[in-house]
Structure 1
Amino acid sequence: MNDPNNLDSQLIINIAAQTLTVYQQQREIKKYSVSTAKNGLGSQENSGCTPLGQHIIADKIGKDAPIHSVFVGRVATGEIYDAALDALYPERDWILSRILWLSGLEIGINKGSNAQGSCDTYERYIYIHGTPDTEPMGLPLSHGCVRMCNQDIIELFEQVEEGMAVTIVAE
């Protein structure tokens, strides 16, 4: 696992800009448009918010899964997302193609608990993941996760490692 203090390679997610930027040796390598939480910033359990602060990629899930593969509980269901499947399950929060499961590093901010209760990014199942291609990027519409276009999450998945630093900033 990488040292999270090693900033040679890191991801910066900017909530105001709705972007995820890949940095290597302090140089910007690639910038992606994303969609963070509709409910805004926050780390409390059941808030539907995107947590701020220092994180790492705890787990990479979905290597070699077909594009648009559907995941439920971090397990590929064998389904491939399309409009017909969406019509069958209109309320489902689609998690597609790949999952990068985040874990917070800051006790009381995005790890463990604080006075308001659990604020643990990992226990809240906060991911960077693919979403239906019909979902707009650049607008905060998720339930707390960081959504990406399917092609983008597959590309990103190949560039990152478990243990890689991820910083989520307000602006």
Structure 2
Amino acid sequence: MGILKRIWVYVRVMRKARRHRGDLLGWLVRRPQLLLAQGGYETSLLLMGRMPAELKTLAVAKTAMIVNCEYCLDIGAEIARTEGIAEEKLVALLEPDGNPVLTDDEQLVVAFAAAVSASPAVVPDELRARLDARFSRAQLAELAAEVAWENQRARLNQALGVRPAGFSDGAFCLIPEAAPQG
């Protein structure tokens, strides 16, 4: 997916917000440095195009499921739909390992997202070797930045009480993963 198309996807999705449009902005305008930093990083991620957008979107969606950010789950499902990702793939994120709905590459990036989003974040050597064999260093840097940023974004949203904006109203929405029992 080209960069301009990805930007257009985000514009279309943001227009679908039905409520709580200004939750995060209402907090960040109080600290303009944070607003600029957040906006700058979001823009840089949006403009990167080495890793296929669909793979990044699935990895980010899995991350949102793990860290349980309601806003991220809401917008993530709508971004995926707008990018043309089949709903079956979103459902497959609940149990991605060996799921025939997901391609090998999709399973790989989702496994990476799960590893990076765990606490502590540990990427097993075997997974890292499979990623290195399949993707370039530039692609992996981009994927890691996307997943790490989604973790930051989700935790910031949760800390500030950012609520779902209704992007996915009336459609399938991602659901959080159950907390690990320990």
TM-score higher than 0.5: no
* Structure showing greater Rg: 2
User: In proportion to residue count, which structure has more strand?
Assistant: 1
User: In proportion to residue count, which structure has more helix?
Assistant: 2
TM-score by length of 1: 0.30
